[in-house]
A and B are shown apart, each in its own frame.
Chain A
Amino acid sequence: MKRKRISRRQRSHILYGYLMIAPLTAGLGIFYFYPFFKVFYDSFHVVGAFNKRSWAGLSNYAAMFRDPVMWSTLWNTVRYVIVIVPATLALSILVAALLNTGIKGRSVFRVIYFIPAITMSTAISMIWRWIFNSDFGILNYVLSKFGIPTVQWLSDPRTAWITISIVAVWMNVGYEMIILLAGMQGISRTYYESASLDGAGKLQQFRLITLPLLTPTIFFVLITTLISTFQIFDVIYMMINSKSLAKEASQSIVLYFYRNAFEYSKKGYASAIAIFLFLIIMIITAFQMKMQNKWVNYDQ
Chain B
Amino acid sequence: MNNKVKKKNTGHIIVYIVLLSGVLITLLPFLWMLLTSLKTQSESIRVPPVIFPAKPVFSNYLDVFRDVPFGRMYINTVISSIVTVAAQLLLCSMAAYAFAKLKFPGREVIFVTLLAVLMVPSSFFILPQYLIVQKLKLLNTIPALFLPNLFSAFGTFLLRQFFMSLPSDLEDAAALDGCNPFTTYWRIMLPLAKPGLVSLGILTLRFAWNDLMWPLIVNTSQEKMTLTAGLAYMQGQYHTNYPEMMAGAMMAILPLLILFAVFQKQFIEGIALTGIKG
Nearest-Cβ distance from residue A178 to partner chain B, whole angstroms: 5
CB-CB contacts of B147-162 with A at 8 A, as 1s and 0s?
1101101001000000
Stretch touching chain B among A19-27, A59-67, A74-82 = A19-27
Stretch touching chain B among A157-165, A190-198, A205-213, A220-228 = A220-228
* B260 with A118: CB separation less than 8 A: yes
* B153 with A31: CB separation less than 8 A: no
* A267 CA to B134 CA, complexed, in Å: 14
Stretch touching chain A among B52-60, B62-70, B249-257 = B249-257
Nearest-Cβ distance from residue A33 to partner chain B, whole angstroms: 8
* A97 CA to B260 CA, complexed, in Å: 23
* A233 with B228: CB separation less than 8 A: no
Tell me the dominant secondary structure on chain A's binding face. Answer: helix
* B278 with A136: CB separation less than 8 A: no
- Of all chain B residues, the one with the shortest Cβ separation from A112 is B23
Partner of A115, one of B11, B209, B260: B260
- Of all chain B residues, the one with the shortest Cβ separation from A123 is B249
Known: A17-B104, A116-B26. A278 touches B18 (CB 8 A): no
Partner of B27, one of A112, A217, A274: A112
* A118 CA to B268 CA, complexed, in Å: 11
Nearest-Cβ distance from residue A74 to partner chain B, whole angstroms: 15
Interface members, chain B 31-51 (any A CB < 8 Å): 32-33, 36, 44-49
* B49 with A141: CB separation less than 8 A: yes
Chain A residues near B272 (CB-CB < 8 A): 178-179, 181-182
Tell me the dominant secondary structure on chain B's binding face. Answer: helix
* A267 with B212: CB separation less than 8 A: no
- Of all chain A residues, the one with the shortest Cβ separation from B243 is A130
* A267 CA to B128 CA, complexed, in Å: 10
* A145 CA to B151 CA, complexed, in Å: 53
Task: Verify if A16 is at the interface (C-beta below 8 Å from B).
Answer: yes
Interface residues on B, range: 35 or more
* A258 CA to B25 CA, complexed, in Å: 32
Interface members, chain A 1-21 (any B CB < 8 Å): 9-10, 12-14, 16-21
Partner of A42, one of B16, B99, B127: B127
* A17 with B151: CB separation less than 8 A: no
* A182 with B275: CB separation less than 8 A: yes
A selection of 14 A-B contacts at a CB cut-off of 8 Å is A17-B107, A19-B182, A20-B181, A27-B150, A35-B129, A35-B132, A103-B15, A114-B260, A120-B210, A124-B29, A130-B32, A233-B213, A277-B121, A285-B119
Measuring CB to CB, which residues of chain B are less than 8 angstroms from any residue of chain A?
Answer: 11-12, 15-16, 18-19, 22-23, 25-27, 29-30, 32-33, 36, 44-49, 91-92, 94-95, 97-99, 102-105, 107, 110, 114, 117, 119-132, 134, 147-148, 150-151, 153, 156, 175, 180-182, 185, 206, 209-210, 212-213, 217, 227-228, 231-232, 235-236, 239, 242, 245-246, 249-250, 252-253, 256-257, 260, 264, 267-268, 271-276, 278
Measuring CB to CB, which residues of chain A are less than 8 angstroms from any residue of chain B?
Answer: 9-10, 12-14, 16-21, 23-25, 27-28, 30-36, 38-39, 42, 51, 94-95, 98-99, 101, 103, 109-124, 126-131, 135-138, 141, 170, 174-175, 178-183, 186, 202, 217, 220-221, 224, 227, 230-231, 233-234, 237-238, 241, 254, 257-258, 261-262, 267, 270-271, 274-275, 277-278, 281-282, 285
